[in-house]
Amino acid sequence: RKVMEVEGGGVDALPAPAFAAGDQVEEMKRDLQERISKEDQRVLWRREFDVQISEREAKKAEGFKEHLAEVVRTRGNELQFKKELRFYLHQVQLQADTRKRWSELEMARRGKQEGE
């Protein structure tokens, strides 16, 4: 506000209160429109962000499902391999036990023959 001294010693405030109120109302309207516009923009950005997050989460979920499927396939192969390896090692152990048993029997037979 401009303050002016008038020759008569009085003080008038310019602009007049009616004009100030009108200007303030217009300024408040513009401010409100800007706020609404910014809020609308924030809402739109938030929705877009939510959509992007949802898409990312969906991709992650899809990737995780593929990963799980691969793990199951690999794990199944691992389990099959382990079963076959266990079976093979069992067979090797049986053969070793059989050889050991045969050699013990052979030694016992030789000892009997020598003792006779």
Condensed to tens digits (0 to 9), the pLDDT of residues 21-59 reads: 667 888 888 888 888 888 888 888 888 888 888 888 888
Structure tokens, 100: 């050991």
pLDDT at 14: 47
H helices of the chain, in order, are 17-115
Is 11 within 8 Å of 4 (Cβ atoms)? yes
Q: Which residue has the tokens 């199944």?
A: 76
With 0-12 CB in 10 A as exposed, 13-18 as middle and 19+ as buried, what is 2? Answer: exposed
The helix (H) or strand (E) run that includes residue 3 is strand 2-5
Q: How confident is the model at residue 7 (pLDDT cuts 50, 70, 90)?
A: very low
Q: What is the mean predicted confidence (pLDDT) over 61-85?
A: 80
Neighbours of 20 (CB within 10 A): 13
Q: Are 15 and 1 in contact (CB under 8 A)?
A: yes
Q: What is the mean pLDDT of residues 54-83?
A: 80
pLDDT for 71:
76
Please give the structure tokens belonging to residue 31.
Answer: 């401010």
